[in-house]
């Protein structure tokens, strides 16, 4: 264990020298309990063999092997960027000075959800940092919270769906959700709403951490607004009740599902992103206070841009 | 009657020198046939695994997002074919349509690769 630590330290020193020739990761403070951070990278904007090689260098051998085992350049790049995004994002929070992207260790929870393994962290309290990642071929995102489990899902708005969306909804969604989709006559709009619902349900399942079978889609309903009978479309006006998203379990409407809050965004004009976190009930003041979201677009070691409040991030639904 | 004659013609083994030179050929196919009929009677209607594999590969190859050249028996949906959760769900639905039986969500969750799909389908008598 001791030797391993020294070896790791040596690697960190080498890495620091290596990184000094590129833009270092800008350190940022951890999110507050009511805050969510979202980092995303667009694979098409990451170019150059030398940059990709730099990313490979921060992966441990087992992850390097996994990336290399993917078949096809695009898949390999996507896998590499996903690991790079997770490692560089978490390392920014400067838990302590020995945390470098390469030194982070990960494990899976009992339900198989990836989490940081802080065991190797010498003399420090493991921070209650949670993260979740989602990728499509055109955008990879990583969400970070403190204290609260988080699930995120991103999908391209225009992603093709092989089956008729109502067939999919009939098979996988609840009756209420199917009803909402069926009521939408315009096929383009119906497709969009299907994708939105899908990302929200996926984000919820990922936040729970049990995988698809842990919370089968048919066992919970995602609803927009708190009143029955409101417009089936997502309201763009976030000041009205209709902008709230809630979830209830099919079997037990009274259960802890009221603990979960959602946000639905349009990212970079091209993707829907759903974020699901647990409501913060520990801090004083308004229990249901708005969840604050900060979004960065990044090309690790090259450029970080805070895009909250710009056209790149449009909150469609949920707390601002 | 005609069917019986046709079946017998199919089953009849011709004792020609060429075939005798390679008795395993005849013996193999005959015993396969025998085994299938026998297993049909005893075990219900489990599909032959090779047949299942061919049909599963076909379904996956026809999936628009997939590069057919990457579709090999041990292909992993996410790692090798680049499919995400919605794609996997669509593939499972396409498999349900192909084999005419419903795959429960908790089982579908475990089908991450072609081989897993083949194993699952081949072990379920409801699959057609």
Roughly how many angstroms between the first and final C-alpha of chain A, as a whole number? Answer: 46
Chain A residue numbers touching B80 (CB-CB < 8 A)? 70-71, 75
Instruction: Answer yes or no: do A217 and B86 touch at CB < 8 A.
Output: no
Q: Is B67 a catalytic residue?
A: no
Note whether residue A18 is domain-resident. Answer: no
Residue A237, pLDDT score:
37
Residues of B (16-75) whose Cβ lies below 8 Å from A: 63-65, 67, 70
The pairing of strands A271-278 and A150-156 is antiparallel
Nearest to B109 among A75, A153, A213 (CB): A213
Q: How many Cβ pairs within 8 Å bridge chains A and B?
A: 59
Structural domain of residue A212, as residue ranges?
A: 35-226+241-317
The pairing of strands A220-224 and A35-41 is unpaired
Residues of A (136-175) whose Cβ lies below 8 Å from B: 136-137, 153, 155, 159-163, 167-168, 171-172
Chain A residue numbers touching B114 (CB-CB < 8 A)? none
**Residue spans of chain B under pLDDT 70:** 3, 5-44
Q: How far is B82 from chain A (nearest CA, A)?
A: 6
Instruction: Answer yes or no: do B79 and A69 touch at CB < 8 A.
Output: yes
Note whether residue A19 is domain-resident. Answer: no
**Is residue A48 packed enough to be buried (19+ CB in 10 Å), middle (13-18) or exposed (0-12)?**
exposed
DSSP letters of chain A?
-HHHHHHHHHHHHHHHHHHTTSPPPPP-PPPPTTEEEEEEE-GGG---HHHHHHHHHTS-HHHHHHHHHSSSHHHHHHHHHHHHHHHHHHHHT-SSTT--TTT-EEEE-TTS-EEEEGGG-TTSPPP-EEEEEEE-SS-EEEEEEESS-EEEEEEETT---SS-HHHHHHHHS-HHHHHHHHT---HHHHHHHHHHHHHHHHHHHHHHTSHHHHS-GGGEEEEESSSTTS-SSPPS-TTSGGG-EEEEESS-TTSGGGGEEEEEEEETTTEEEEEEEE---SSSS-TTPPPEEEEEEEETTTEEEE-TTSTTEEEEEE--
Interface probe for A, chosen from B62, B88, B105 (most Cβ of A below 10 Å), is B105
Q: How far is A75 from chain B (nearest CA, A)?
A: 6
Residue A126, pLDDT score:
75
Q: Which of B40, B84, B87, B119 is catalytic?
A: B84
Note whether residue A184 is domain-resident. Answer: yes
Note whether residue A27 is domain-resident. Answer: no
Tell whether A63 is within 8 A of chain B (Cβ). Answer: no
Instruction: Answer yes or no: do A75 and B82 touch at CB < 8 A.
Output: yes
Nearest to B84 among A136, A160, A216 (CB): A136
Note whether residue A66 is domain-resident. Answer: yes
Tell whether B86 is within 8 A of chain A (Cβ). Answer: yes
Chain B residue numbers touching A79 (CB-CB < 8 A)? 79
Instruction: Answer yes or no: do A168 and B106 touch at CB < 8 A.
Output: no
Residue A252, pLDDT score:
54
**Buried-exposed string A222-246: b where 16+ CB fall within 10 A, e elsewhere:** bbbbeeeeeebebbeeeeeebbbbb
3-state helix, strand, coil in chain B (%, to 5): 60, 0, 35
The tally of domains found in chain A comes to 1
Instruction: Answer yes or no: do A72 and B70 touch at CB < 8 A.
Output: yes
Residue A247, pLDDT score:
80
- Each residue's pLDDT expressed in tens, for chain A with a length of 320 residues: 444 444 444 443 333 333 434 677 888 999 988 899 999 999 999 999 999 999 999 999 999 999 998 888 888 999 999 999 999 999 999 777 678 898 898 988 888 889 998 875 566 677 789 999 998 989 999 999 998 999 999 999 989 898 999 999 998 899 999 999 999 999 999 999 999 999 999 999 999 988 766 778 888 899 876 433 344 444 333 333 335 788 876 555 555 557 888 999 999 999 999 999 988 766 555 555 667 999 999 999 999 999 999 999 999 987 54
The 10 Å Cβ neighbour count of residue A251 is 8
Interface probe for B, chosen from A66, A134, A165, A172 (most Cβ of B below 10 Å), is A172
Note whether residue A65 is domain-resident. Answer: yes
Note whether residue A64 is domain-resident. Answer: yes
The predicted complex's ipTM stands at 0.71
Note whether residue A20 is domain-resident. Answer: no
Give the pTM: 0.78
Tell whether A112 is within 8 A of chain B (Cβ). Answer: no
CATH number for A138: 3.90.470.20
């Amino acid at each position: 264990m001791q030797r391993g630590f020294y070896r790791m330290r040596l690697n960190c020193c080498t890495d620091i020298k290596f990184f000094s020739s590129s833009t270092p990761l800008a350190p940022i403070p951890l999110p507050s309990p009511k805050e969510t951070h979202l980092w995303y990278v667009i694979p098409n904007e990451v170019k150059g063999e030398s940059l990709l090689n730099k990313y490979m260098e921060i992966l441990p051998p087992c992850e390097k092997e996994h990336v290399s085992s993917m078949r096809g350049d695009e898949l390999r790049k996507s896998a590499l960027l996903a690991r790079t995004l997770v490692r560089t994002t978490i390392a920014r929070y400067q838990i302590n000075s020995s945390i470098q992207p390469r030194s982070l260790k990960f494990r899976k929870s009992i339900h198989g959800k990836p989490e940081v393994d802080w065991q190797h962290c010498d003399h420090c309290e493991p921070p209650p940092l949670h993260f979740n990642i989602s990728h499509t071929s055109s955008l990879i995102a990583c969400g970070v919270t403190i204290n609260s489990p988080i699930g995120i899902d991103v999908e391209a708005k225009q992603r093709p769906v092989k089956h008729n969306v109502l067939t999919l909804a009939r098979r996988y969604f609840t009756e209420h959700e199917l009803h909402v989709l069926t009521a939408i006559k315009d096929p383009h709009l119906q497709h969009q709403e299907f994708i939105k619902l899908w990302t929200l349900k996926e984000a919820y399942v990922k936040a729970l951490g049990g995988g698809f079978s842990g919370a089968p889609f048919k066992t919970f309903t995602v609803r927009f607004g708190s009143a029955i009978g409101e417009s089936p479309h997502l309201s763009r006006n976030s000041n009205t009740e209709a902008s709230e998203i809630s979830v209830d379990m099919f079997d037990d409407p009274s259960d802890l599902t009221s603990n979960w809050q959602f946000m639905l965004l349009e990212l970079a004009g091209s993707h829907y992103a759903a974020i699901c976190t647990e409501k913060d009930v520990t801090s004083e003041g308004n229990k249901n206070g708005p969840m604050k979201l900060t979004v960065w677009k990044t090309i690790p070691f090259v450029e970080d841009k805070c895009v909250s409040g710009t056209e790149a991030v449009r909150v469609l639904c949920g707390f601002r | 009657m005609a069917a019986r004659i046709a079946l017998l013609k199919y089953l009849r083994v011709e004792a020609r020198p060429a075939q005798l030179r390679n008795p395993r050929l005849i013996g193999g196919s005959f015993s396969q046939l025998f085994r299938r009929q026998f297993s049909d009677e005893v075990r219900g209607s489990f599909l032959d695994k090779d047949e299942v594999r061919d049909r599963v590969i076909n379904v996956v190859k026809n999936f628009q997002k997939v590069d057919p050249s990457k579709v090999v028996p041990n292909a992993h949906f996410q790692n090798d074919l680049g499919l995400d959760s919605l794609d996997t769900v669509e593939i499972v639905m396409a498999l349900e349509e192909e084999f005419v039986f419903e795959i429960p969500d908790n089982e579908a969750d475990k089908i991450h690769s072609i081989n897993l799909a083949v194993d699952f389908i081949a072990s379920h008598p409801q699959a057609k």
